[in-house]
Amino acid sequence: MISQLPFLNRGAFVRVVLSMLFSSVCLPIHADPSIAFFYGRPAPVDLLAHFTQVVVEPENMDNLDYLREQGTKVFAYVSVGEVNATRRWYPEIPKSWFVGSNKEWESNVVDLTQQGWHDYLIDKYLSRLWEEGYRGFFLDGLESYQRFAVEPERRLAQEKALSLLIKRIHQHFPGVELIFNRGFDVLPEVGQYAVALAAESLFQSWDSYTRKYESVIEPDRVWLMNKLRQVRNQYGLQIIVIDYVDPKQKELMRVTARRISDLGYTPWVANPGLDIIGVGKLEIFPRRVLALYDGQEHPEGLHQAEVHKLMAMPLEYLGYAVDYLDVNAGLPGNVLTGQYAGIVTWFNRDALPRPTLYRDWLLRQIESGVKVAVLGNLGFKADDNFLRHLGVKASEPESMEGQPKIEPVNKIIGYEAQPGSGMPGSIAWQAFDKRIAAHLGFGEQSEGPVVAVFSGDWGGVALHPYVVEPGYKGRQRWIINPFEFLSTALDLPEIPVPDVTTENGRRLLLVQVDGDGAGIKAEIPGTPLAIKVVKDNFLQRYNLPATVSVIEGETATNGSPDGSDGLSEVEKVARDIFKLNNVEVASHSYSHPRAWFQKNNIDDAGDGYHRSVDNDQLDIHREIAGSVEYINNTLAPANKPSRVFLWTGDGLADNEALALTRRLGLENMNGGGATISDAERTMTRVPPLGYKINDQLQVYAPIASEHIYTNSWQGPYYGFNRVIETMRLTDSPRRLKPMHIHYHFYSGSKMSSVNALKAVYDWSLQQEHRAVWVSEYGQKVNEFHSITLSRRMDGAWDIRGLNALRTLRLPTSSKWPDMERSEGVVGFRDVHQGRYLHLLPNQGQVLLHTTPQPPSSPYLLHSNGKIEEWQKSADGIHLRMHAHTPLEMVIASPEQTCVINWAGRTLEGQRQGQGWKFVFPRAEPGNVTLVCY
C-alpha cells in the first residue's frame, strides 16, 4: 500500500532523480540474494528451492523441511496490522480489537495498542509457527494504522505500540530474522531488528479498484526510490521490491525485474495475489506439463489415453516431464502460471461430465498466462466468449468443404500422413485475429481463414480428425508434427534438456533378460536348458552388463533336485549366472501375473513357457517381496541382492505395486517398448519413458522384446533381428531411446532365435555405446521427472536434481558451454542429434554458463565409462572413471598433445580427429592424471 506522496516541485524532482542515479552506481551492501513470494497452495517447493529466500503463506505450506534442507531461508507471512476473515483463527480475535476495514484487501485493521493482540500474535500464532520450524517472519501491514490514525497523537501511539510489538517479537524468538513490508515511520525505533525491507510497486503496480495493471507514475516512483535509497544507506538493509505485471506479459516481467536489480535491489515480479511463480533475480523455467485426459473414455487406464501413449514422448524429448490428471477426479484450484510449461489436453468427445466447470477453469488458466495445447476435441461446446479468447469464432459447416489448405512455409502439417478433406461433423473455426497462425485451413473467407490446426499467443489447437490418421488394426500415423506443434503451441523455450539416452557422449546400451522359459529344453544338439544356452552363449561370451531375472515359480520347480543342496537344475544355472560380475540380479515375480490390476480384454497370447495367474488371485507381496526374498536367500551371492523388479504380463503396474518396489529399494521396469520399424515408420510406435501414478513412477522398457518381433513367440523365431531397425530408427534423426537388447530365456530354446539374438548383440557392439544396467537407467528416468531449471540474470542455467542423470542436450546451433565458469560440466560432444553435455556425478546442482567461443582448454569428448572425479589443478586434470568393460576415453584438445599419468607410468594417447583416445587394459584403472602440453 502506497502512502500519499509529498508534492515535489521541478527542482526538487530533478535533485531526487540525480541523487538516485548517483547512488545506483554503488555496489549493493549485501551479497546477491534472490527471493520469491508464493502464497498459493500447494507450494511448489522443488521450484522455490532455487531461491535463497522464500516468503510463504504458512497455512498453505506442507513441506517446510524440504526447503530448509535445500538451504533456502523460509519466511512466514504475518500480517501484524490486519486480519483477513478467511483466516482459520479469525473467530478467535475479539471484534473490539478492530478499528476499521481495508476494503481493498477485504480485511480488518487492528488497533495496535491492544495488548491482547500482541499476546495472541506472539504466544499463540508466532509460537506455533516457530514450533513448525519457521525462523523468519515477513511482517506485513506495518502501515495499516495510517488508515484510521490520522491525528498526530493517535498515529504516534500506534507507532509506539508497533515498535514495542516488533521488539517483543525479536526478544521472544532468539535469532529470528524479520523482513518489514515498508514501515518507514518506525524504522528509527526498530530498524536494527530487520534483515530486509520490502516495498511494492516501484515500476509496475496493480490497481485493486479498477482491477488493472498499470505503470507507476513518475512522481510516485521517484518518491519511493528516494525512500529506499535512504533506508539502504542509513540501516544497511537488503531492499526487496515487489512489482505487479500481467503474467501474460512475460517479457515485461523480465524487464521490470532487471530494472529493479540494476538499482541494487532484490526483485520479485508477479501477480497481486502472489500465487504464481514470477520472475526475480532468477527465473524458473518450468519443465512440467499438465496432461488432461478423460478417464471415462479410457476405463482400462491411463496407458490407453492418447495424451500419454502418443503425446508424452514428444514432450519428453523436448525436455518436459508430464503430470497426468483425469478431469473427472477434479481440477487444481490454483492458477498454474510459472509452475507448468503448459497444459495439454486430448479428448475424443465434446461432452465431459462437467463441461461448464472445466470450460471456466481452462479459461482462467489461459487468462493467467498458461499456454494450452488442445488436441482432438475441446471437451465442451465452445461458446462465443471462449472462442473470442482464442482469436476465432464459429463457422458454417459448408466452409470446410474441399481440400484443406496448408500454409506455404509449413513445419507442422503432413508429418507422416497428409490430411484429408473435411468430414461430416468435423469442426473448424474462423480466425478473425490477425495474430493467429493458420497451420491447416479451408480457404480464405472475407473475415479470415477457417482453421482446424492453428496457434496464437495463448497456445494452439489441432482438431479431430487432423491430428492422427487411423489405420488397420488400430495403427496410427501423425498428421501433425507433434514436436513442432507442441513447441509452437506452448511457446517452449530452448532449454538444456535432461537426456536419459546418452552418457558421456555415447548412446546407452541395456541388456535385459526376463525369466520366462528358463527351464525348457532347447531344440539344439544336447537339448540343454534354455537358461544355460543364454548363460554360455551370451551372458558369459559377450560380457556386457546385463540385468537378469527369474520367475520363482518356474525356476524353483523345474528340473529334478539333485545333490545335498536340494537345488533344481535350473536353480543351479541361475545361481551361476548371478555370480557373474557383469550380471545384475532382478526378479520377474513368483507366478508371472498376466495383469497387476483389474482390466478387461487382457491379451492372453502367451508363449506357453511360464505360469500365469489372474488378477483376482494376485498377492502382490508374495509376487514382489516374496520372490525377491527367495532370490536373495537361495540364488544370489550374499553381497549381491536383487536390485530390479521386472513387471510381467501386460507389464503395467498400479500404485500399490509400484510403491512396494520403492519400499524394497528396487528399480522397476517393463511395459512400453518401442516397435517402430522400416515397415511401420511412425513415431506413434515410440512410447514415453514411463508413466506416473500419484507419486510412483513406472519405467517403461525402451525397446520391445523378442516376444513382439516373433508374434508372441509364434514365429518366425528369427524375427528378433528386426529390433535392429527399431534401434536405428530411435537414434536418427532424433535420439529417442537407448539401445536395448530385451529378451527372455526362451530365446535360447531354438537355433533360429539364438542366431537372431547373436546378430543383435554383434550389431549393438559395433555401435559406439556406453553399457549400463537396468537399475542405472531406471534411476535416470526417475530423475528426469524431478529435475528443475532456473536461469540467472547473467544467463547462466541453474539445474537442480541431477545425480544419476548425467547428460544435458542442447542444439548444436546454441552457444558453447563455458568450461571455465560452469560448475559440474566436464565436456561435451556434438553429433547430428545435438550437443550432449557431460556432467559430474553427485553434484545435485549444475551451473551452466555459455559463451560464443568454443573452449580452448582440454575437455572430455566421449567415453564408455562413468565419471567419478574430475578436478582441474596446476599439474593437470585429476580424474577417476570406471566402466563395465575396459575403459576408453577421448579427450578434446585440438592444439595440444595429451598423455595420462597412471600407476607410475605414462599412457600415450592416439590422435583421433581433434582429440586423443586412451584405452585402458581394465575397466577400473583408478586415479589418473591427464596432462596436455
The domains of the chain are located at 31-282, 288-493, 506-781, 791-932
Residue 456: other Cβ atoms inside 10 A: 18
Asked if residue 420 has pLDDT above 90, the reply is no
- The arithmetic mean of pLDDT across residues 168-183, rounded, is 98
Helix axes 10-24, 218-235, angle to 10 degrees: 50
200: nearest Cα among 227, 224, 234? 224
Of 225-239, 441-455, 766-780, 797-811, minimum mean pLDDT range? 441-455
pLDDT of residue 615: 52
pLDDT band at 820, cuts 50/70/90? very high
- The arithmetic mean of pLDDT across residues 902-925, rounded, is 92
pLDDT band at 472, cuts 50/70/90? confident
Asked if residue 842 has pLDDT above 60, the reply is yes
379: nearest Cα among 465, 482, 318, 294? 294
Sorted by sequence, the CB contacts under 8 Å of residue 602 that are 6+ apart come out as: 594, 595, 649, 650
Q: Render pLDDT for 281-318 as a digit per residue (tens, 0 to 9).
A: 999 999 999 999 999 999 888 999 999 999 999 999 99
Half-sphere exposure at residue 285, Cβ-oriented, CA atoms within 13 angstroms: 22
Coil, strand or helix at 65: helix
Of 32-46, 502-516, 528-542, 608-622, minimum mean pLDDT range? 608-622
Q: Is the peptide bond before 465 cis (omega within 30 degrees of 0)?
A: yes
Question: Which residue type occupies 801?
Answer: G
Calpha distance 174→641 (Å, rounded): 49
Of 178-182, 302-306, 349-353, 812-816, minimum mean pLDDT range? 349-353
pLDDT of residue 561: 52
Calpha distance 840→859 (Å, rounded): 12
Calpha distance 268→272 (Å, rounded): 11
Calpha distance 164→795 (Å, rounded): 45
Q: Is 791:285 a contact under the CB 8 Å cutoff?
A: yes
Asked if residue 533 has pLDDT above 80, the reply is yes
Pairing of strands 468-470, 392-394: unpaired
Calpha distance 687→701 (Å, rounded): 9
Q: What percent of the chain has pLDDT over 90?
A: 83
Tell me the pLDDT of the chain averaged across its residues: 92
Coil, strand or helix at 742: strand
548: nearest Cα among 684, 443, 645? 645
pLDDT band at 103, cuts 50/70/90? confident
Q: Render pLDDT for 237-254 as a digit per residue (tens, 0 to 9).
A: 999 999 999 999 999 999
Write out the H or E segment, with its range, that includes residue 850: strand 850-851
Which residues in 754-763 are b (16+ Cβ under 10 Å) and which e?
A: bebbeebbeb
Q: Is 850:508 a contact under the CB 8 Å cutoff?
A: no
Query: What phi, psi does 681 have (nearest 5°)?
Result: -85, 80
- Taking the CA atoms of residue 676, residue 677, residue 680 and residue 682 in that order, the dihedral angle to the nearest 10 degrees is 40
Of 390-399, 697-706, 872-881, minimum mean pLDDT range? 390-399
290: β partners: 323, 343
Sorted by sequence, the CB contacts under 8 Å of residue 121 that are 6+ apart come out as: 78, 80, 165, 169
* ∠ Cα 813 817 820 (to 5°): 155
Calpha distance 630→489 (Å, rounded): 51
Asked if residue 818 has pLDDT above 70, the reply is yes
- The arithmetic mean of pLDDT across residues 458-468, rounded, is 96
Three-state secondary structure along 774-808?
Answer: HHHHHHHHHHHCCCEEEEECCCCEEEEEECCCCEE
Calpha distance 109→82 (Å, rounded): 4
Max CA separation in the chain (angstroms): 107
696: nearest Cα among 782, 630, 591, 633? 782
CATH class of 31-282: alpha beta
If one compares 564 and 739, the residue with the highest pLDDT of the two is 739
Q: Is 29:235 a contact under the CB 8 Å cutoff?
A: no
760: nearest Cα among 737, 727, 729? 727
Distances, alpha carbon 227 to alpha carbons 184, 197, 202, 223, 260, in Å? 8, 11, 11, 6, 14
Distances, alpha carbon 343 to alpha carbons 490, 808, 902, in Å? 8, 24, 53
Q: Render pLDDT for 558-617 as a digit per residue (tens, 0 to 9).
A: 655 554 567 899 999 999 999 999 999 999 999 999 999 876 555 544 554 445 555 557
Its sign, for the CA torsion 543, 547, 552, 558, is: negative
- The arithmetic mean of pLDDT across residues 386-397, rounded, is 89
Sorted by sequence, the CB contacts under 8 Å of residue 409 that are 6+ apart come out as: none
Calpha distance 798→791 (Å, rounded): 6
Quote the cell numbers at residue 408. 506455404
Question: Which residue type occupies 26?
Answer: C
180: β partners: 139, 197
pLDDT of residue 449: 87
Which residues in 118-154 are b (16+ Cβ under 10 Å) and which e?
A: bebbbeebbeebbeeebbbbbbbbbbbbbbebeeeee
- The arithmetic mean of pLDDT across residues 121-134, rounded, is 97
> Cα 384 to the chain's mean position, in Å?
35
The label of the residue with cell 508371472 reads 592
DSSP, residue by residue, 135-202: -EEEEE-TTGGGGT--SHHHHHHHHHHHHHHHHHHHHHSTT-EEEEES-GGGHHHHGGGEEEEEEE-S
Q: Would you say how long the chain is, in residues? A: 933
Question: Which residue type occupies 921?
Answer: P
DSSP, residue by residue, 684-696: GG---SEEEETTE
Calpha distance 412→374 (Å, rounded): 15
Calpha distance 326→330 (Å, rounded): 7
pLDDT band at 30, cuts 50/70/90? very low
Three-state secondary structure along 551-590?
Answer: CHHHHCCCCCCCCCCCCCHHHHHHHHHHHCCCEEEEECCC
pTM: 0.92
pLDDT of residue 632: 98
Q: Which fold has domain 506-781?
A: TIM Barrel (3.20.20)
Calpha distance 673→16 (Å, rounded): 68
The two domains 288-493 and 506-781 share their CATH topology (first three levels equal): no
Coil, strand or helix at 635: helix
Sorted by sequence, the CB contacts under 8 Å of residue 534 that are 6+ apart come out as: 513, 745, 747, 748
> Cα 484 to the chain's mean position, in Å?
20
pLDDT of residue 106: 78
Write out the H or E segment, with its range, that includes residue 763: helix 751-766
Asked if residue 495 has pLDDT above 80, the reply is yes
Quote the cell numbers at residue 741. 537388447
- The arithmetic mean of pLDDT across residues 470-482, rounded, is 94
Calpha distance 433→741 (Å, rounded): 52
480: nearest Cα among 440, 426, 430? 440
CATH class of 288-493: alpha beta
Sorted by sequence, the CB contacts under 8 Å of residue 31 that are 6+ apart come out as: none
867: nearest Cα among 800, 933, 780, 807? 807
The label of the residue with cell 523455467 reads 285
Asked if residue 261 has pLDDT above 50, the reply is yes
